[in-house]
Amino acid sequence: MKYGILGHIGFSKKEENHNRLMSMGDIFECLAILRIYERMGIKKEDLLTCYPYELDVYQDEYVVLPINVYALNVDYSRRILPVFLGLALGGEHDISKKNINMLRRFAPVGCRDERTMRRLLEKGIDAYVQGCLVATFPEREQNLETQNKVFFVDPQAGIKDYIPESLLENYEFYSHDFYMTPEELLKGKDIYEYGVETIERYKKEAKLIVTSKYHAAVIALALGIPVIMIIENNYYKYSWLEKFIPIYEPKDFANIDWNPPVVTIPKEEKNLMLEIAEERIRETYHKYEKICTLSEKRENINIKRFNDIFYGSYAIEYVKNNWKKDTAINYAFWGATQTAVKLNEYIAENYPNTKLVKVFDWSIRNPIEFDDGCFVPEPLENMENKENEHLFIFVTGNSASQAAKELFAKLNKSQDEYFLCERKILQESDVRKDDER
């Protein structure tokens, strides 16, 4: 039996050298797991790397595989023994009957947020609030001489007019998302080395991080870097962060504290998270004392109600502005997501002459209930079929936007035949002074 690590190189097969979306947050997650293995005395070269696309067909040696990712929408081969350390669930379709049985088998389940924990407990699955293991990176040493740069890491676009001039004296715009081939991103480097270099830059240079990215905020908290977290809406997966820092939405922009204090995860809590993760990986599922202690530290009895969808509000605004109440149109979703389910509910209620006719997804093939009926998602390549030529398509996930643009350009699909639920990111050029352009 082997110890394993979940590799993140985008959703495409590793041997295919074409553009894909890769996330720095996924690399940070891998590095956090590697640090735990280092504590256990297990070398990186002795680990078996498993990739998301092969989890259901994996047939090699039995492998203990820590899972510290956002969603659960895949089936696992019986030779993979998952250890759930940071699970976050989106819509109801994330928990199939097979998934429920597996989660019960490998409980207790560590969750990123309290909403996920409560959903699992309601289904009789032992669960606790773990938070995100990226938070366990050690705090940096302070050095005012070098730590003097403001990093804007995929900042929310609406903050442009609120940014103080003082923050633009020494700044850098940086992205945690990369849409390219692995070779273009890594340029011969190990993918973990690329993540380490990013963390080292934050440690040595950052005096402040302004971001809409979950993992940028978490690594800032871990390292002891002041951070301003600004997002479109208070999405549920950010809930445990709110115990440490404010989470600003558009309605709060005028009240942003642009000079936030240093806030860190207490060292004793970091150590507790690491100890629990190590014990869980060693399959010590029956040691509940520390688990309950950590969960109590993470829980918040005054937790707010969080939105179930992230980018769907953009699509709803598009529909309001472009469709009439008697509009008759057949449409489809690219992405079997919670956003798709919620958007269909809104459209079905307000536009009775419209009809959802297709759902496309890169991997999900389980039946999903919508207001317009039960749909089994079709492969993305089916969009190229003649019968789907004039379908209006909502691309319901930000991560699919770049791939969708490429495909729609190939299909000569006009911009009034689709809508992208994509994040609006403020670019460096938006804040440059006129004389610098």
Highest mean pLDDT among 120-129, 178-187, 283-292: 120-129
Dist. CA 178–CA 189, nearest whole Å: 15
334 has which bridge partners? 360, 395
Q: Write down the pLDDT at residue 289.
A: 36
Mean pLDDT value across residues 97-110: 87
pLDDT above 60: residue 113: yes
Which of the two residues, 287 and 331, has the higher pLDDT score? 331
Tell me the angle at which helices 288-298 and 267-281 cross, rounded to the nearest 10 degrees. Answer: 140
Which of the two residues, 56 and 301, has the higher pLDDT score? 56
Q: Write down the pLDDT at residue 354.
A: 95
DSSP-derived 3-state class of residue 244: coil
Least confident of 18-32, 54-68, 176-190, 236-250: 176-190
Dist. CA 161–CA 355, nearest whole Å: 40
What CATH number belongs to 136-255? Answer: 3.40.50
pLDDT above 80: residue 233: no
Q: Write down the pLDDT at residue 37.
A: 94
Question: Each residue of 64-91: pLDDT tens digit?
Answer: 899 887 555 667 877 788 899 988 886 6
Torsion 183-25-87-46 (CA) sign = positive
Give domain limits for the chain: 2-134+267-298, 136-255, 312-420
Dist. CA 142–CA 145, nearest whole Å: 9
Q: Work out the percent of the chain whose per-residue pLDDT is above 70.
A: 86
DSSP-derived 3-state class of residue 228: strand
CATH of 312-420, one of 3.40.720.10, 3.50.50.60, 3.40.50.720, 3.40.50.970: 3.40.50.720
Give first-to-last CA distance, the chain, whole Å. 58
The H-assigned helical ranges of 9-125 are 24-39, 97-105, 114-122
Mean pLDDT value across residues 40-63: 85
DSSP states along 322-376: H--TT---EEEEES-SHHHHHHHHHHHHH-TT-EEEEEE-SS--S-EEETTEEE-
Question: Each residue of 253-294: pLDDT tens digit?
Answer: 999 999 999 999 999 999 999 999 999 998 733 433 344 346
What stretches of 212-316 adopt beta strand conformation (E)? 227-230, 247-248
Dist. CA 331–CA 348, nearest whole Å: 12
Mean pLDDT value across residues 136-158: 94
CA dihedral angle for residue 320, residue 325, residue 328, residue 333, rounded to 10 degrees: 30
The H-assigned helical ranges of 141-190 are 182-186
Q: What is the mean pLDDT of the chain?
A: 85
Contact 64, 80 (CB under 8 A): no
CATH fold match for the domains 136-255 and 312-420: yes
262 has which bridge partners? none
Dist. CA 27–CA 398, nearest whole Å: 19
